[in-house]
Structure 1
Amino acid sequence: MTTTALSHDRAPDRAPEQRARRRSVPVWAALLATSLPMFMATLDNLVMTSALPVVRADLGASVDQLSWFLNAYSLAFASFMLPAATLGDRLGRRRMMLIGIAVFTLGSIGSALSTTSGALIAARAVQGLGAAAIMPLSLTLLAAAVPARLRPAAIGIWGGVSGLGVALGPVIGGAVVQGVSWQAIFWLNVPIAVVGVPFMLWAVSESRGSWQRMDLVGTAMLGGAVFLGVWGIVHGNTQPDGSGGWTSVGVLVPLVVGALLLPAYVLRARSIDHAVLPLRLFGSRSFSTANVIALFFTVGMFGTVFLLAQYLQVVQGYTPLEAGIRTLPWTAAPMVVAPIAGAIAPRVGLRPLLLIGLALQTASLVWLASLAEGHATYPHFVPALAMAGVGMGLTFAPMSTATLDGLPESDFAMASSANSTVREFGVALGIALLTAVFTGNGGQITPVGYDGAIGPAILTGAAAVAVAVLAACFVPRRRPHSEI
């Protein structure tokens, strides 16, 4: 009681100072300072996709290990974002984000120096821990630094930069792998961090939220649910001893325990006042719906990106750079469409943008599945890829805006972290799930190994995005408040 009272007593004293410092910072500077580290973290979500065949040959990695090169990053990312938000509220959000940048950079150096698959997976997990303190806090700091009337547009630009990271990930990965080595894709993060840290110290003011105790048990429960769920899916078709599968103890037990941890967390969160993910946030229909959309959207789209980047190299014979460039009709579109979507959202509302964007993505995945199974040449893929990219661009900014819509500013960090956690879990789950469907249908990473396997995997992704379309029907009709 005493600690809570003190935190409320301190808040009015800090607010005038923070508002004054906020007004003195140019909007463009705050936007650039918060977006640059986020771009770095987003870039590394997919930067390895074009390099996976090269890394596989160099390190002798298995199909499972290829997925864990991405999943280790996504799982650590997803598991630590909520406690990172709590630490940011206590220690300072800018300070916590700077710590995240430092950890991320160390993980990047470790990845570049890895000589075994196990070492690379471990280093990628360290990267994910650093990224967990970067992405959600970047949106929180931006929302606090930008005037209320400009926030929807600023969030749109932020979403566009996130889309730029998605767009350039496969391209930069392919270019660097082809021109230098796969290790160099991680060395690129060092100069970005060197520039980003001092710029953030200059352009972004420190801020804190309400003080609360760390919910270590709740963090372990949610993190355990994420890890065990993805572990079970990844190993559903590939037991080390050649036996088992979905009915084996090694798969069923993690899946069941992971599923039970979620209701157990809910029961715990109802009985304490310092839950790592407060249940009160789910009283907002906009927040709850945005997280359902985020989960199924990322499962379908990013799981497909993982498979498609390899398909272009293994089946169609492109180099890593050529494959990365050929994903641009899909991955470059969000950096153009997302800022536009963010700017028009206050006028047209969030629901129409989300419905159109998600419907376009569902249709594009069905189209891509048909093309891949039909052995179509690359030019036939371009319209479907562009449709997917426009759909993603119409989804990024409205989804982020819906996450914060109607919530007090004191909950921005927790809400943003929760949504980012769900999205990163969706990335890991999508890669694991679509890989499981691919291998379950006899898929192999050979020129003929995709036949009969790539189609069902991508259609699984389409089904996931279709669920997000249904969820978008429940987004509140009203337009987002100007205070978001």
Structure 2
Amino acid sequence: MAITLIVGALAVVFDTTIVSVALNDLATELDAPLSTIQWVSAGYLLAVFVAIPLAGWAQSRLGGRRLWIAALGVFLLGSILSAVAWDATSLIAFRVVQGVAGGIMMPLMATLLMQATRGRNIGKVMAIITVPTALGPILGPVLGGLILQLADWRWLFFANVPFCVVGGWLAWRNLPNDRPAADRPRARLDVVGLLLLCPGFAALVFGLSQVEGSAGFAGAKVLIPLISGLALVAGFTAWALTRSTGALVNVRLFRHRAVASSSTLLFLGGISLFGSMMLLPLYFQRVRGEDALGAGLLLIPQGVGALLARSLAGKYTDRVGPRGVAFAAFVFVAVATVPFAFVTAGTSEVLLMAALFVRGIALGAAMIAPMGAAYVGLAHEEIPDASILTRVAQQIGGAVGIAVLAVILQHSTGDAHTPAALADGFGTAFWWSAAFTTAAVPLCLFLPRLPDPAVPDSAEEAEAAAKV
């Protein structure tokens, strides 16, 4: 079951990392300004955020297997349409189709595996779930660079087809047929929640994506969508709290300390992970003079470290609990980021790659432990909402990290043009990245200390277990 889900998820993860290194080439090939082409990624990200909250409701209506196959089919359709796009506008539209499917698939993967194991071996399950996200940064940029050197840009999207086809076939064969019974009451879509939450998330991410230049967060094009997004999310929270059941996402789960602390840590971890993934390629390209492929190759050690950390972090999460693993992991992420605060144009690449390897190991553990902790003490039917909340927290953290560090980098580099001056500016940005990571360290103490037994079958059993 795990292999089946990983094959399908790789299509989503590879697609994201491949396209991220191809924006300049797409701008040239489609004869469009970079400000337009960046919506190839931004439009996808917005669609992901709109779709994530729908995953729980859609699973309750269709069942996990049918929803997974349907989402994989939509992603396949979006990939083929993107490959035959005739201009920038059509490519952006077809990427939105991909984003809707990807937004459903990523939380659904965690939900299906966690429900299948009933909460046992949470660390091991999280190690499995993070395989695609560990492989993406390793192989995605390299694969994207190779495709652009050897073939037409359209093959960036045709490369998804084998993963989608094989993943769909495996899902039909291997995933349990959990289609809801015909006589079971159908879950109703929370239309009010949908109209509040999905546009709210999209507005927040859109506002954060507009942060640039000296104005930073003060510009109207940033403040208006940010304030609107916060108001919509706050409105949804108030609406959901008035409903005992049936809300689009069960925000009452934040009453569980494990869910609240895990979501907060994943938010800060998203800042560290995604923010640094913006800084590092830019450093190698702007300061060291590398091209997209060269920057991707230099980032491989971090991805390899994250991949190698999975089994070790999962084992110790199950053995000693998520609290100790997360505490040590966030400390090492901060420590391994510090060397980049001292970078110069002539800093040894061997030293930087060694620091990236250590940082990758720590980042892998820093994601696995909080993700697993979020499910401690939850009932079977509460797992989909926990998957959505943690996924949103991590992705919002990533958007915040990119926006904040981009503003810091803009102000710290200023009018710098020489490699030495640019390196100083990047050093300041990396100091801030290390500071955000350090802020997460004391919050790790709020995670569950010991491994948790199997997930209760119902909310009543979960409440009784909590009282005991």
Fold-level similarity (TM above 0.5): yes
Correspondence for 1:392 among 359, 363, 369: 363
- In the alignment, is residue 228 of structure 1 matched against residue 206 of structure 2? no
- Structure 2: 5+ residue stretches without partners: 457-468
Q: Is the 8 A contact 1:443 1:451 kept in 2?
A: no
- In the alignment, is residue 367 of structure 1 matched against residue 342 of structure 2? no
- Change in CA separation of 1:201 and 1:312 when aligned onto 2, cut-off 3 Å: same
Q: 1: distance between equivalents of 2:217 and 2:398?
A: 21
Bigger Cα displacement from structure 2, 108-117 vs 386-395: 108-117
1:193 to partner: Cα distance: 0.7
1:153 to partner: Cα distance: 1.8
- Change in CA separation of 1:143 and 1:402 when aligned onto 2, cut-off 3 Å: same
Q: 2: distance between equivalents of 1:421 and 1:233?
A: 15
Map 1:112-151; keep pairs closer than 5 Å.
112-114=83-85, 116-146=87-117, 149-151=120-122
Q: 1: distance between equivalents of 2:173 and 2:340?
A: 46
Partner of residue 320, structure 1: 292
Correspondence for 2:2 among 21, 26, 31: 31
Q: 1: distance between equivalents of 2:246 and 2:348?
A: 55
1:195 to partner: Cα distance: 0.8
Partner of residue 204, structure 1: 175
Partner of residue 306, structure 2: 334
- In the alignment, is residue 478 of structure 1 matched against residue 450 of structure 2? yes
Give the partner amino acid of 2:340: L
SS of 2:66 mapped into structure 1: helix
Q: 1: distance between equivalents of 2:398 and 2:42?
A: 8
Partner of residue 354, structure 2: 383
Give the partner amino acid of 2:150: G
Give the partner amino acid of 1:207: D
Correspondence for 1:434 among 405, 408, 419: 405
TM-score between the two structures when normalised by the length of structure 1: 0.84
Give the partner amino acid of 2:197: L
Q: Is the 8 A contact 1:228 1:258 kept in 2?
A: yes
SS of 1:317 mapped into structure 2: coil
Once superposed, what is the RMSD of the aligned Cα atoms? 2.8
Give the partner amino acid of 1:316: R
Q: Deviations over 1:166-212 (max 9, x none)?
A: 32222222222223243322211011111111111100013268843
- Change in CA separation of 1:364 and 1:198 when aligned onto 2, cut-off 3 Å: same
SS of 2:218 mapped into structure 1: coil
Q: Is the 8 A contact 2:288 2:345 kept in 1?
A: no
Give the partner amino acid of 2:358: M
Correspondence for 2:259 among 275, 279, 287: 287
Q: Is the 8 A contact 1:345 1:479 kept in 2?
A: yes
- Change in CA separation of 1:310 and 1:108 when aligned onto 2, cut-off 3 Å: farther
SS of 2:374 mapped into structure 1: helix
Q: 1: distance between equivalents of 2:43 and 2:235?
A: 25
- In the alignment, is residue 467 of structure 1 matched against residue 442 of structure 2? no
- Change in CA separation of 1:299 and 1:66 when aligned onto 2, cut-off 3 Å: farther
- In the alignment, is residue 219 of structure 1 matched against residue 194 of structure 2? yes
Q: 2: distance between equivalents of 1:261 and 1:352?
A: 36
Give the partner amino acid of 1:214: L
Q: Is the 8 A contact 1:314 1:447 kept in 2?
A: no
Q: Is the 8 A contact 1:294 1:419 kept in 2?
A: yes
Partner of residue 23, structure 1: none
Give the partner amino acid of 2:196: M
TM-score between the two structures when normalised by the length of structure 2: 0.87
1:106 to partner: Cα distance: 2.1
- Change in CA separation of 1:264 and 1:62 when aligned onto 2, cut-off 3 Å: same
Partner of residue 276, structure 1: 248
1:455 to partner: Cα distance: 3.1
Q: Is the 8 A contact 2:326 2:370 kept in 1?
A: yes
SS of 1:404 mapped into structure 2: coil
Q: 1: distance between equivalents of 2:242 and 2:41?
A: 36
Q: Deviations over 1:408-439 (max 9, x none)?
A: 11111221122122222233333333333333
Bigger Cα displacement from structure 2, 360-369 vs 144-153: 144-153
Q: 1: distance between equivalents of 2:404 and 2:36?
A: 14
Bigger Cα displacement from structure 2, 180-189 vs 451-460: 451-460
- Change in CA separation of 1:56 and 1:303 when aligned onto 2, cut-off 3 Å: farther
Give the partner amino acid of 1:347: R
Q: 1: distance between equivalents of 2:451 and 2:131?
A: 21
Partner of residue 179, structure 1: 150
Q: Is the 8 A contact 2:119 2:376 kept in 1?
A: no
Q: 2: distance between equivalents of 1:114 and 1:398?
A: 41
- Change in CA separation of 1:151 and 1:357 when aligned onto 2, cut-off 3 Å: closer
Q: 2: distance between equivalents of 1:225 and 1:464?
A: 25
- Change in CA separation of 1:71 and 1:446 when aligned onto 2, cut-off 3 Å: farther
1:151 to partner: Cα distance: 5.0
Q: Deviations over 1:12-71 (max 9, x none)?
A: xxxxxxxxxxxxxxxxxx111112112222223322233334334444665655654433
Q: 2: distance between equivalents of 1:428 and 1:81?
A: 15
Give the partner amino acid of 2:436: A
- Change in CA separation of 1:222 and 1:319 when aligned onto 2, cut-off 3 Å: same
Give the partner amino acid of 1:120: L
Aligned residues: 450
Bigger Cα displacement from structure 2, 341-350 vs 154-163: 154-163
Q: 2: distance between equivalents of 1:124 and 1:250?
A: 23
Q: 2: distance between equivalents of 1:98 and 1:458?
A: 41
Q: 1: distance between equivalents of 2:414 and 2:13?
A: 28
- Change in CA separation of 1:198 and 1:56 when aligned onto 2, cut-off 3 Å: same
Q: Deviations over 1:235-280 (max 9, x none)?
A: 3435xxxx96643433322222222223222211111232111122
Partner of residue 12, structure 1: none
Q: 1: distance between equivalents of 2:368 and 2:327?
A: 13
1:159 to partner: Cα distance: 1.9
- Structure 1: 5+ residue stretches without partners: 1-29
Q: 2: distance between equivalents of 1:412 and 1:426?
A: 21
- In the alignment, is residue 102 of structure 1 matched against residue 73 of structure 2? yes
Q: 1: distance between equivalents of 2:215 and 2:121?
A: 55
- Change in CA separation of 1:130 and 1:442 when aligned onto 2, cut-off 3 Å: same
Q: 1: distance between equivalents of 2:119 and 2:206?
A: 42
Bigger Cα displacement from structure 2, 297-306 vs 375-384: 375-384
- Change in CA separation of 1:479 and 1:148 when aligned onto 2, cut-off 3 Å: closer
Q: Is the 8 A contact 2:137 2:300 kept in 1?
A: no
Bigger Cα displacement from structure 2, 345-354 vs 376-385: 376-385
Q: 2: distance between equivalents of 1:175 and 1:106?
A: 24
